[in-house]
Amino acid sequence: MSNQPLLIDTDVHNGIKSPRDLLPYLSKVWHSQWLASGTGLGQPYYSPVGVLRQDAVPDDGSTSGSDPHFMVKDHVERFGFDYIVLTGQSILELSLHPDIDYANAVVSAYNDYLIEQWLTVDKRFKAAMVINHSDPHHAVKEIERIGLHPDIVEVIMCSAANKLYGHRVYHPIYEACANMNLPIAIHPGTEGRGQTGAPTASGYPSRYMEWHNILPTNYMAHVNSLVCEGVFEKFPELKVVAIEGGIAWLTHLMWRMDKNYKALRDTTPWLRKMPSDYIREHVFLTTQPIEEPENPQHLVDIIKMCRAESQILFSSDYPHWDFDHPKLALRSFPKDLKQAIMGDNAAKLYGLTRV
Amino acid sequence: MSNQPLLIDTDVHNGIKSPRDLLPYLSKVWHSQWLASGTGLGQPYYSPVGVLRQDAVPDDGSTSGSDPHFMVKDHVERFGFDYIVLTGQSILELSLHPDIDYANAVVSAYNDYLIEQWLTVDKRFKAAMVINHSDPHHAVKEIERIGLHPDIVEVIMCSAANKLYGHRVYHPIYEACANMNLPIAIHPGTEGRGQTGAPTASGYPSRYMEWHNILPTNYMAHVNSLVCEGVFEKFPELKVVAIEGGIAWLTHLMWRMDKNYKALRDTTPWLRKMPSDYIREHVFLTTQPIEEPENPQHLVDIIKMCRAESQILFSSDYPHWDFDHPKLALRSFPKDLKQAIMGDNAAKLYGLTRV
């Protein structure tokens, strides 16, 4: 066993090369809908640089992120990752589809496809199984169906929803995750799209950049809701991974929640600790897109202010446009913190060890 | 002229003692509606501690904040304020009323009442005039009607809206403010109420504390929108005051906006500076409810990281429940920064000098 620190990427997007690749896993009744309309979710926020890295196109010219063998070469081996966690792509959007039967069917088909077509390719591939959060009953069944697969390390859902994630309607999902020792992860990008409301309290941003800038506000709302609704008292084993939602807002949220709790805790008698304590014990944040202050030390300072050193997980977001380079993203971080973020924290969270 | 530093409170809530007090300023056609339904806006988020300080009830037993003479004694003279800025109370909600004629009429009546019943009482009273942001045309007329009154130092509107504040529909308001050298202020508390959508991208918080905790996310969205939509290029003189919305989120927002701008600035060709530069030059934040980290130095560190020393304005929020004590709120701040925040920054912004 090497003494080298573990290197784990907690957010790598695997795509489906062709919609036809899902057909063997999908009941025939849904084939024409899947081929014709896919996730059915429009995207009014257009990025002029695209959402996929053009230098990550596989050798056969297919979509970036859609070829497991090319991903091994282009990402896993290039940087020497011990593990990467596959988090899917637009499949996550299906939680916002109006037809929950369709969404459930495609999500299950994707999970089977993921296990057969990706997790068999390389031992370094681990994966987040996808659920449809709009049908918690089916989501629980799906978690029970495949959650014990040895390479499934997490359950993932999109961060946009009609109800905040502390709401009681989701608790069966958390119970299943806690029972099976699977963290629940959220991923941004669906805010304001499909069957949800506006992405802010005051309506819709006008353009992609403006929309992308404020996606973390939805994360703040979810973390706040999870804590205030007592989810972590009800499910003390539950871990939540906030993927791709930023880090530096944590100071503000912790301080504001703790201050208000001191005055208003009568209204949440189920809480027994300060809100920031629940966040520190249960919430993990991935790094990409890592905030880039003019003075890089400032981000380290923020993490230390929050005492969040063990909550931060490295992610590259490969092969997306705003990919963070594993050698560069944390170059100014002190060695211990860097090692924790680059692998140790994720190894502990997901129960991963050097093979 | 004394050498004592100026002491200015930028958020003091004056209330209306009896709805009847507004009648002399309101056309008779609206009297019965005003007396029967007031602002017409419900509030599902109930605070068990109330929203008004019970120790700020005037000598005659009327509502806290509704008696100008008692306010002078209980707040202005108790702490030795040189100036306080009166920001109104529930009158701000009228921007969310479905009937813009009614809202316009009551807002104008309030402004006249404010000038006659409050600004005549004490030279230390300055005030924010209220507008109905749902009718920008009327708002401009109202600003032109009374904005030059020597004791009107600001224009205020509630922070909840159907469109983010960078949207073009509001630009005539900003033009009027810039022309008359009046900052435009926003105040929270209407998020998710009345004629707006949910207060988060994922629906409604369940309780007052949970709702109150995430009000600043709407501020982040507005500041982002104002910058991205080019409001500060179009109106280089415009200043925006974000009242009661927190401070420590500024690091995150500045860093995320600057990072995205580097990649996506093609979509906002009207911007000529980094987003954080616009924020530093045009956006001011009031202190209350000031974030209270375990180590108070951390908030100072955050302000310095943002180089926002000249953007922070002291506010107490008198007579609201979460009032910040002028002698205590900044007690750990270094002397220079404290003096800037307690008065100098506001004096410069509002053009106030020692009398």
DSSP A42: -
Taking contacts as CB-CB distances below 8 angstroms, the residues of chain A near B202 are: 159-165, 196, 218, 221-222, 225
What local confidence, expressed as pLDDT, does residue A2 receive?
60
CA A160, CA A198: separation in Å to the nearest integer?
10
Taking contacts as CB-CB distances below 8 angstroms, the residues of chain B near A295 are: 305
Question: ∠A87-A88-A91 over CA atoms, to 5°?
Answer: 135
- For residues B84-106, average pLDDT: 97
Among B198, B218, B261, beta carbon nearest to A209: B261
Q: Is the pLDDT of residue A138 over 90?
A: yes
What local confidence, expressed as pLDDT, does residue A153 receive?
98
- Residue A135 tokens, joined: 């049908």
Please check whether residue A315 is in contact with residue A309, taking contact to mean a CB–CB distance below 8 angstroms: no
Q: Is the pLDDT of residue A233 over 90?
A: yes
DSSP per residue, A221-253: HHHHHHHHTTHHHH-TT--EEETTS-STTHHHH
Q: Does B162 touch chain A (CB under 8 A)?
A: yes
Among B209, B251, B299, beta carbon nearest to A260: B209
pLDDT digits (tens, 9 = 90+) for B314-346: 999 999 999 999 999 999 999 999 999 999 999
What local confidence, expressed as pLDDT, does residue B2 receive?
60
Model confidence at B63, pLDDT cuts 50, 70, 90, reads very high
Please check whether residue A9 is in contact with residue A342, taking contact to mean a CB–CB distance below 8 angstroms: no
In sequence order, what E strands does A104-168 have?
Answer: 125-130, 152-158
Cα dihedral B100, B102, B103, B108, rounded to 10, equals 120
Q: Give the count of Cβ contacts less than 8 A between chain A and B.
A: 246
pLDDT digits (tens, 9 = 90+) for A57-80: 999 999 999 999 999 999 999 999
Closest by CA position to B8, among listed B154, B111, B131: B154
Cβ contact B225–A206 (<8 Å): yes
Among A218, A255, A257, beta carbon nearest to B200: A218
Please check whether residue B288 is in contact with residue B244, taking contact to mean a CB–CB distance below 8 angstroms: yes
Tell me the one-letter amino acid at A106.
Answer: V
What local confidence, expressed as pLDDT, does residue A318 receive?
98
Percent of residues, chain B, with pLDDT higher than 90: 96
Strand partners, A286: A313
Cβ contact B263–A205 (<8 Å): no
What local confidence, expressed as pLDDT, does residue B195 receive?
84
Cβ contact A292–B258 (<8 Å): yes
- Residue A53 — φ and ψ, nearest 5°? -65, 125
Strand partners, B152: B127
Among A208, A214, A321, beta carbon nearest to B221: A214
- Residue A77 tokens, joined: 């081996």
Cβ contact B263–A322 (<8 Å): yes
What local confidence, expressed as pLDDT, does residue B128 receive?
98
Mean pLDDT of chain A: 97
Residues 19 to 48 of A: which have CB under 8 A from any B CB?
47-48
Question: ∠B136-B139-B144 over CA atoms, to 5°?
Answer: 130
Task: Calculate how close chain A gets to B95, using CA atoms only, in Å.
Answer: 13
Domains by residue range for chain A, with CATH: 8-350 (3.20.20.140)
Cβ contact B201–A191 (<8 Å): yes
What local confidence, expressed as pLDDT, does residue A194 receive?
84
pLDDT digits (tens, 9 = 90+) for B229-273: 999 999 999 999 999 999 999 999 999 999 999 999 999 999 999
End-to-end Cα, chain A, rounded Å? 8
Task: Calculate how close chain A gets to B35, using CA atoms only, in Å.
Answer: 29
Cβ contact B301–A299 (<8 Å): no
pLDDT digits (tens, 9 = 90+) for B168-221: 999 999 999 999 999 999 999 999 998 899 999 999 999 999 999 999 999 999
What local confidence, expressed as pLDDT, does residue B354 receive?
87
Q: Does A257 touch chain B (CB under 8 A)?
A: yes
Among A47, A202, A322, beta carbon nearest to B160: A202
Exposure string of B327-336, with b = 16+ CB inside 10 Å and e = fewer, is eebbeebeee
Q: Does A205 touch chain B (CB under 8 A)?
A: yes
Cβ contact A248–B246 (<8 Å): no
Task: Calculate how close chain A gets to B118, using CA atoms only, in Å.
Answer: 31
What local confidence, expressed as pLDDT, does residue A81 receive?
98
Among A209, A252, A255, beta carbon nearest to B264: A209
CA B235, CA B254: separation in Å to the nearest integer?
20
- Residue B53 — φ and ψ, nearest 5°? -65, 130
- Residue B96 tokens, joined: 């969310």
Please check whether residue B268 is in contact with residue A315, taking contact to mean a CB–CB distance below 8 angstroms: no
Question: ∠A248-A260-A349 over CA atoms, to 5°?
Answer: 45
What local confidence, expressed as pLDDT, does residue A228 receive?
98
As a 3-state breakdown, chain B gives helix, strand, coil percent values, each rounded to 5, of 45, 10, 45
Model confidence at B313, pLDDT cuts 50, 70, 90, reads very high
Please check whether residue A35 is in contact with residue A27, taking contact to mean a CB–CB distance below 8 angstroms: no
CA B355, CA B124: separation in Å to the nearest integer?
9
Question: What's the whole-model pTM score?
Answer: 0.97
Q: Is the ipTM of this complex over 0.90?
A: yes
Q: Is the pLDDT of residue A312 over 90?
A: yes
Exposure string of B33-49, with b = 16+ CB inside 10 Å and e = fewer, is ebeeebbbbebebebee
